[in-house]
DNA sequence: CCAAAAGTGTTTAAAATACACCCATGC
DNA sequence: GCATGGGTGTATTTTAAACACTTTTGG
């Protein structure tokens, strides 16, 4: 189907397929080259950027919906997802955005479910950056990663959603397998530390960090080292998922 | 308006007033005579109990909706409310419940927005037990407090919602003014400790608890003591809200 | 051989825990 | 006067923080 056809059908008949008034917005976190990244879409015409999002099928679990949406944007199955907040301000004014969108596209419509008010459920997603193949949706022209410190101008309240998700990620650090989901299978201690530092937004002492994380028992050190830097080669580690989950049940005690 | 009239109007025309497919369920916590309590409604005919809940007006902020609903159930304004989770299983089967409800009432209806699937947003509410005047809604015959350890059989997934809310309350203890909202203006140290013990589900050392809580600076000791027990009269305390909020920003560090 | 960054261990300070005695009150 | 539970202080253990030297690697 042609893109325009898909779009006008979405505006005209989407309400038969999806629950009205409810949308999902996802903040997809990745970690690459020692930087925390977020996956964003460039909205057609609006010029601003948007969070990957979508709607809930009439008989679908909301968590499944979020998984389905992100499978389309990333190519990944079984993404680690958590709902973190519902954004329900009646003045979120999705109406204007969606009307302007159609206008630019050259389609005229007086009524559409897309002009209604939307309550949006925010999800955080943790993915392995290296495995993602970014794919724009029908409303977007691009899909790209951004450094968390270099977020472009965003539509609606999406920047607010993003900031709130980041705060949630920080709170989750001691209770969810954040490292496991954001890093590749094997990684070095400095990489893991940088991940913690970026999320917590503060520097940690290298030696104390290593001791603390080793003492939790959540890591297994490999024989292999990461060569290539002009310095001593750091060991690779991988997570001991069994111990990781056990440790998380009790909470891991990194000060926020 | 007569109760039955109100009810049939709700089933027939509620969708003009409220957002479809979305409901709110509140877990209202109170603390009285050293027990953590939850406010429940006895559903008409079903015999089981339910959380206080309701729907969102078409142009209303969801948080306002929760406030409005609880004002009706408790008589209280400006209740401390927090959303904590969205329950979105498509098999929550509110349909059966609502159909059965009407049947028992002797009303016949083939179609109603109330037979649709509902996604429910869970809220926790912290109230001063002594100020609440429980008031049933149009679906209920009673509204009463229950000890958190003596919860009766509940409709749908409401017991699950309640348990999840309790867990959330525990997580919030270090970051939200839980004591301030659950206790009366003045209270004794043993009362405060009991509140913490009940929420955390473990015993705390009396002397260490006192030191720790005093050191945070969130309390002001009054000259007055609580007489009446056959033992030394404990001092009354009240919260220093300014310091309390400051301490909460940093997190208060009671081990969960 | 030099710069850069990783590996490792000890010392010190702070926080949590365990524990004991005295004090007011009502019966 | 005695049982009950509240007020207060100290010693000990555990945990977190501060800190320095040695080692490996690439250029």
Residue B190 has pLDDT above 80, yes or no: yes
B178 found inside a domain: no
pLDDT in the model for residue A256: 66
B58 found inside a domain: yes
Q: What is the pLDDT of residues B24-83, one digit of tens each?
A: 999 999 999 999 999 999 998 888 999 999 999 999 999 999 999 999 999 999 999 999
- Strand C positions within 7 A of protein Cβ atoms: 3-10, 15-20, 23-27
Kindly report the CATH number assigned to the domain that includes residue A243: 1.10.10.10
Of A116, A140, A172, the one marking the end of a domain is: A172
Nearest to A62 among B62, B119, B256 (CB): B119
B182 found inside a domain: no
Task: Specify the nucleotide whose C1' lies closest to residue B207 (CA).
Answer: D8
* Cβ–Cβ contact A251 with B under 8 A: yes
- Partner A, chain B 20-79, Cβ-Cβ below 8 Å: 20-22, 56, 58-63
The span from the first CA to the last CA of chain B, in angstroms, equals 49
pLDDT in the model for residue B32: 94
Could you check: is the Cβ of residue B255 within 7 Å of any atom of nucleic acid strand C?
Answer: yes
Nearest to A88 among B63, B119, B256 (CB): B63
What's the CA–C1' distance between B226 and C14, in Å?
35
- B10 and B39 assigned to the same domain: yes
Rounded (10°) CA dihedral B51, B57, B60, B64? -20
- B44 and B141 assigned to the same domain: yes
* Cβ–Cβ contact B102 with A under 8 A: no
* Cβ–Cβ contact A245 with B under 8 A: no
Q: Which residue of A has its CA nearest to B254?
A: A253
- B145 and B211 assigned to the same domain: no
- B161 and B210 assigned to the same domain: no
Neighbouring residues of A208: CB distance < 8 A, sequence distance ≥ 6: none
* Alpha-carbon A115 to chain mean position: 26
User: Which residues bind near strand D, taking a CB cut-off of 7 Å?
Assistant: A 205-208, 212, 225, 227-233, 253, 255; B 188-190, 206-208, 210-211, 229-235
Q: Which residue of B has its CA nearest to A60?
A: B90
Task: Specify the nucleotide whose C1' lies closest to residue B230 (CA).
Answer: C26
* Cβ–Cβ contact A252 with B under 8 A: no
List chain B residues with CB under 8 Å of A90: 59-61
Nearest to B83 among A58, A61, A86 (CB): A86
pLDDT in the model for residue A143: 98
A9 found inside a domain: yes
Nearest to B22 among A22, A61, A83 (CB): A22
- A129 and A216 assigned to the same domain: no
- B64 and B125 assigned to the same domain: yes
pLDDT in the model for residue B1: 62
Element holding B75 (H helix, E strand): none
Q: Which residue of A has its CA nearest to B116?
A: A58
Could you check: is the Cβ of residue B208 within 7 Å of any atom of nucleic acid strand C?
Answer: yes
In chain B, % helix, strand, coil (3-state, to 5) comes to: 40, 25, 35
- What is the pLDDT confidence band of residue B196, given thresholds at 50, 70 and 90? very high
Which residues constitute the domain of residue A223? 187-250
- A87 and A24 assigned to the same domain: yes
The mean per-residue pLDDT over the stretch B200-207 comes to 95
A25 found inside a domain: yes
Report the candidate in A16, A11, A6, A7 with the shortest Cα–Cα distance to residue A114.
Answer: A11
Q: What is the pLDDT of residues B71-98, one digit of tens each?
A: 999 999 999 999 999 999 999 878 888 8
List chain B residues with CB under 8 Å of A58: 117
State the Cα–Cα distance between residues A153 and B71, nearest whole angstrom: 39
Contact between A62 and A101 under an 8 Å Cβ cutoff? The reply is no
Q: What are the residue ranges in chain A where pLDDT is below 70?
A: 1, 256
- B48 and B144 assigned to the same domain: yes
Of A147, A172, A197, the one marking the end of a domain is: A172
Please answer yes or no on whether B19 and A83 come within 8 Å at the CB atom: no
A177 found inside a domain: no
Nearest to B119 among A22, A85, A90 (CB): A22
- B112 and B206 assigned to the same domain: no
What's the CA–C1' distance between B244 and D15, in Å?
26
**DSSP notation for chain A:** --HHHHHHHHHHHHHHHEEEEEEEEEEEEEEETTEEEEEEEEETTT-SEE--EEEEETT--HHHHHHHHHHHHH--SS-EEEEEEEE--TT--HHHHHHHHHHHHT---S--GGGS--EEEEEEEE--GGG------TTEEEEEEEETTS---BSTTHHHHHHHHHHHHHHHTTTS-HHHHHS-SSEEHHHHHHHHHHHHTS---HHHHHHHHHHHT-EEEEEEE---SSSPPPEEEEE-HHHHHHHHHH------
- A113 and A161 assigned to the same domain: yes
- B210 and B163 assigned to the same domain: no
Of A123, A139, A172, the one marking the end of a domain is: A172
* Cβ–Cβ contact A117 with B under 8 A: yes
Please answer yes or no on whether B83 and A83 come within 8 Å at the CB atom: no
What's the CA–C1' distance between B107 and C27, in Å?
62
Q: What is the pLDDT of residues A71-114, one digit of tens each?
A: 999 999 999 999 999 999 999 878 888 888 888 888 888 899 99
Contact between B46 and B100 under an 8 Å Cβ cutoff? The reply is yes
- Number of Cβ atoms within 10 Å of the Cβ of A231: 6
- What is the pLDDT confidence band of residue B198, given thresholds at 50, 70 and 90? very high
pLDDT in the model for residue A45: 85
Kindly report the CATH number assigned to the domain that includes residue A13: 3.90.79.10
A140 found inside a domain: yes
- B197 and B240 assigned to the same domain: yes
**Tally of domains within chain A:** 2
Kindly list the distances between the CA atom of residue B143 and the CA atoms of A213, A230, B44, B134, B159, in Å, as whole numbers in the listed order: 50, 71, 11, 6, 16
Report the candidate in A221, A151, A157 with the shortest Cα–Cα distance to residue A25.
Answer: A157
């Amino acid at each position: 189907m042609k893109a325009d056809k898909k779009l006008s059908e979405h505006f005209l008949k989407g309400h038969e397929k999806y629950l009205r008034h409810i949308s999902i917005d996802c903040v997809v976190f990745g970690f690459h080259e020692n930087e925390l990244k977020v996956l964003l879409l460039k909205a057609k015409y609006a010029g601003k950027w948007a969070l990957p999002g979508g709607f809930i099928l009439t008989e679908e679990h909301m968590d499944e919906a979020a998984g389905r949406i992100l499978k389309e944007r990333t190519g990944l199955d079984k993404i680690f997802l958590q709902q973190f907040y519902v954004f329900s301000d009646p003045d979120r004014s999705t109406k204007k955005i969606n009307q302007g969108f159609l206008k630019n596209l050259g389609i005229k419509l007086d009524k559409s479910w897309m002009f209604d008010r939307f309550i949006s459920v925010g999800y955080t997603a943790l993915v392995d950056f290296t495995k993602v193949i970014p794919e724009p949706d029908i409303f977007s022209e691009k899909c790209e990663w951004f450094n968390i410190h270099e977020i472009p101008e965003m539509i609606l309240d999406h920047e607010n959603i993003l900031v709130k998700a980041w705060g949630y990620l920080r709170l989750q650090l001691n209770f969810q397998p954040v490292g496991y989901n954001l890093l590749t299978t094997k990684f070095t201690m400095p990489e893991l530390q940088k991940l913690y530092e970026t999320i917590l937004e503060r520097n940690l002492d290298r030696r104390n960090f290593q001791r603390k994380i080793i003492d939790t028992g959540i890591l297994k050190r490999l024989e292999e080292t990461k060569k290539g830097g002009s310095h001593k080669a750091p060991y690779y580690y991988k997570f001991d998922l069994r111990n990781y989950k056990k440790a998380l049940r009790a909470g891991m005690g990194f000060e926020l």
